[in-house]
Structure 1
Amino acid sequence: MIRILRGVPFFAFALILSVLLFPSRGFSDPTAISPGSGGMALPFPFSSDEDISKGFQALAPPFLPWGPNTSGPFFTGTAEVEPIGSWYLEPFVYDSISPGSSSYYMPMRLAVGLGHNLELDTFIPLIDNVEGPPITPSGQSANHFGVGNTHFEVKWQIASDEDVYLPLARPSVALTFDFWVPSGQYQNLNPQQYGADQLGNGTFNEAIMLLVRKHVKPFMFYLQVGDIVENPTTVGAGYGYNNGITQNALPNDHVVDGNLLYYAGAFEHVINTEWGAGYLLEVYGESQSGQNLLFGAANAPAWSFLWAAPELEVTWPHTQKLSATWGAGVALPVYQSDYPRTVTPMGTVTVYFNGPFGYRGQ
């Protein structure tokens, strides 16, 4: 008994002893006087069990809502922004496979938290095009590697998830303002490359996107929809239009692409929070019309497609300063109009660097 009491702080020992000697006092009122006490109040620092609970809660770490670190969907953006001082690097690999063609699209994404609910994202894509029969003559192939169009994005989060346990509570909502620079080759194409050396479409693009994400433990729901305006450009012979099928035959042609609608959504089930392990079901589509929002009637072909993509994800390693999330999946064609039937295996790894002013849970 003596050995045990030596390890107990004096205050705790006095508290326990008082309860044993005066069990009728309780903790309800420090000025409570029992018969025969001589009017002396017990010197307890708390007036009730509720105050004791509050005292210990003040020492506990702040409550963090459910938000595991996962890789998230491939095509649908997330409405949350990075805290200031935090950033992540995310390389993607998409292999768009259609008859006679394989195109590796590998954008490198850098996202940096700016504070004030703002985030800056840049995408610098590397592209490796491989062409073979029936696009090339029998026994011939072509290959070309280079940089595609550069994409800049400013994300502004205008609402945060109100309650991650209630389905009808307010979701996270954000707007993105996007701008593309035609850094990919699109002119002076080599006829012997059969289109493999075209790495961009030569247009400056502007877009506004709406992003929504809702947590409902253990699920997450994502939505993204936006409109992309593609500015006119001048192209040469052999230029391939955005649909990936039609080629231009004129030496100097003024091309006006139609308005481009972007839409995507995803359902995510986080099976294991500690490992960020789970699966996603995602749909993604684009539709280019025959009319440009700012530049009138389009002379480029109209087209559209819709893909469905099952995906898997896991997080490793995962520390307070750094974590990496891994994702893999395949996009399968559901519908296409004047667009090649494309199967797209894809993979990504996202490396997060958490700064001193916030910790990111994807």
Structure 2
Amino acid sequence: MKLSMRLILCFLFFFFVRDILFPSIPCFADPPAVLPDASGSPFAFPFSSDADMAGDFKALAPPLLPWGPNTSGPFFTGTAEVEPIGSWYLEPFAYDFMSPRVSNLSMPMRLAVGLGHNLELDTYLPLEQNWVGPPQTPSGHSASYFGVGNTHFEVKWQLTSDGDVYLPLAMPAIALSFDFWVPSGQYQNLNPQDFSADQLGNGTFNEGVFVLVRKHVKPFMFYLQVGDIVENPSTVGVGYEFNNSISLNQTPNFHMVDGNLLYYAGAFEHVLNTEWGAGYLLEFYGESQSGQNLFFGAANAPPFSFLWLAPEVEVTWPHDKAFSVTWGAGVALPVYQSDYPVTVTPMGTVTFYFNGPFGYRGM
């Protein structure tokens, strides 16, 4: 008993002396000390808190927009803003390209991940469902085919941020995107009995560079995208359908050279309700393939061009600060076409968005 009392008194005396003579020495119950690192800035030791780690990564995130509602956005026009580090979303699309003789239901699955340093990585894995009927097939016959199309990769680099979301003439957000397509869709050894319905890609490696612009002017948003796509030469067989969706190749082992492809799109968006991301859009989209390839000389694939106009609607539900789902629907209507079929395109999309610590969706 006397030994126990002595130990207790010694223990109390130790902490009394420590607090009087050495008040800066931490005990096990004290919070971690803050010590300078090699650069002179403080860091937590031995462990960093969540707030400390958030501060370290905050420099990687783009500036927070004072008005940046969570919407589905346009279908063909990209946005110049990148996702912050820690934020990502999964967005399946559905485009049904319908003309009098064919239906091509394209369902690209988009995964976008914020990388930090104003960079974003996007990948698109498309599923394709083709149907063809007369006059491309004999009377009374049709064919359908399902499979994977060409895979698309994109790296987006944001150059500027929106200067002021309340001033129309303030600096817009501007970005560059570098795109690459892999011919993962079937394009060779086509079955004549499928009447080209089993063609799921154009068989070319493609490289593209785009300029993207986006300007907020509450409650409106304006989008613009212009770019050029270089399509590498490829060898195709009989029954291959060229990019103009009309002409078929009739030459075995044909060395195909496509012309340069000009891509342009823009959209006007009116956000009616910021909390629900409800609004409508009016979008234009066009392509023009020339008779000349930038790197591979004269093209032997037929040139074409078209312009579409697309009214669209959008809404967000459910939504909170960590997770939200946006829905969009519309239809692209033909305005002009040259050596291209008259095509009507119903469209739909849903975005599953996971907001990171620096995200601004749903605000």
Q: TM-score, normalised by structure 2?
A: 0.82
Cα offset, 1:63, TM superposition: 8.5
User: Kindly tell me: are residues 188 and 64 of structure 1, through their superposed partners in 2, closer, same or farther at Cα, counting changes over 3 Å?
Assistant: closer
- SS of structure 2 residue aligned to 1:325: strand
User: Kindly tell me: are residues 323 and 138 of structure 1, through their superposed partners in 2, closer, same or farther at Cα, counting changes over 3 Å?
Assistant: same
Q: Does 1:275 align with 2:259?
A: no
Cα offset, 1:64, TM superposition: 5.2
Identify the residue that residue 210 of structure 2 maps to in structure 1: 209
Residues 177-226 of structure 1: CA deviation (Å, up to 9, x unaligned)? 00000000000000000010000011000000000000001100000000
User: Kindly tell me: are residues 171 and 361 of structure 1, through their superposed partners in 2, closer, same or farther at Cα, counting changes over 3 Å?
Assistant: farther
Structure 2 counterparts to residues 24-63 of structure 1, below 5 A: none
1:319 alignment partner AA: D
Identify the residue that residue 183 of structure 1 maps to in structure 2: 184
What is the rounded CA distance, in whole Å, between the counterparts of 1:325 and 1:78 in structure 2? 16
2:360 alignment partner AA: Y
1:82–1:360 CA contact under 8 A, matched in 2: no
What is the rounded CA distance, in whole Å, between the counterparts of 2:279 and 2:64 in structure 1? 24
Structure 2: any 5+ residue segments left out of the alignment? 1-62
1:83–1:360 CA contact under 8 A, matched in 2: no
Cα offset, 1:356, TM superposition: 2.2
Residues 117-158 of structure 1: CA deviation (Å, up to 9, x unaligned)? 000000000000011112111111100000000000000000
RMSD: 1.2
Q: Does 1:301 align with 2:294?
A: no
Identify the residue that residue 86 of structure 1 maps to in structure 2: 87
Structure 1: any 5+ residue segments left out of the alignment? 1-61
Structure 2 counterparts to residues 210-225 of structure 1, below 5 A: 210-225=211-226
2:202–2:243 CA contact under 8 A, matched in 1: yes
1:339 alignment partner AA: Y
Structure 2 counterparts to residues 41-190 of structure 1, below 5 A: 65-190=66-191
What is the rounded CA distance, in whole Å, between the counterparts of 1:66 and 1:115 in structure 2? 21
- SS of structure 1 residue aligned to 2:321: coil
1:110 alignment partner AA: L
Residues 59-96 of structure 1: CA deviation (Å, up to 9, x unaligned)? xxx98511110000000000010111110000000001
What is the rounded CA distance, in whole Å, between the counterparts of 2:243 and 2:65 in structure 1? 45
Q: Number of paired residues?
A: 301
Residues 250-306 of structure 1: CA deviation (Å, up to 9, x unaligned)? 111000000000000000000111111000000000000000001000000000000
Q: Does 1:252 align with 2:253?
A: yes
Residues 46-69 of structure 1: CA deviation (Å, up to 9, x unaligned)? xxxxxxxxxxxxxxxx98511110
What is the rounded CA distance, in whole Å, between the counterparts of 1:235 and 1:140 in structure 2? 25
What is the rounded CA distance, in whole Å, between the counterparts of 1:101 and 1:361 in structure 2? 39
- SS of structure 2 residue aligned to 1:137: coil
What is the rounded CA distance, in whole Å, between the counterparts of 1:231 and 1:257 in structure 2? 7
- SS of structure 1 residue aligned to 2:348: strand
What is the rounded CA distance, in whole Å, between the counterparts of 2:330 and 2:294 in structure 1? 34
Structure of larger gyration radius = 1
2:101–2:135 CA contact under 8 A, matched in 1: yes
What is the rounded CA distance, in whole Å, between the counterparts of 2:65 and 2:108 in structure 1? 32
2:88 alignment partner AA: W
1:307 alignment partner AA: W
- SS of structure 2 residue aligned to 1:275: coil
Q: TM-score, normalised by structure 1?
A: 0.82
- SS of structure 2 residue aligned to 1:241: coil
Identify the residue that residue 238 of structure 1 maps to in structure 2: 239
Identify the residue that residue 14 of structure 1 maps to in structure 2: none
**Share of identical aligned residues, percent?**
80
2:88–2:112 CA contact under 8 A, matched in 1: yes
Q: Does 1:344 align with 2:345?
A: yes
Identify the residue that residue 36 of structure 2 maps to in structure 1: none
What is the rounded CA distance, in whole Å, between the counterparts of 1:296 and 1:285 in structure 2? 24
Identify the residue that residue 289 of structure 1 maps to in structure 2: 290
What is the rounded CA distance, in whole Å, between the counterparts of 1:131 and 1:123 in structure 2? 25
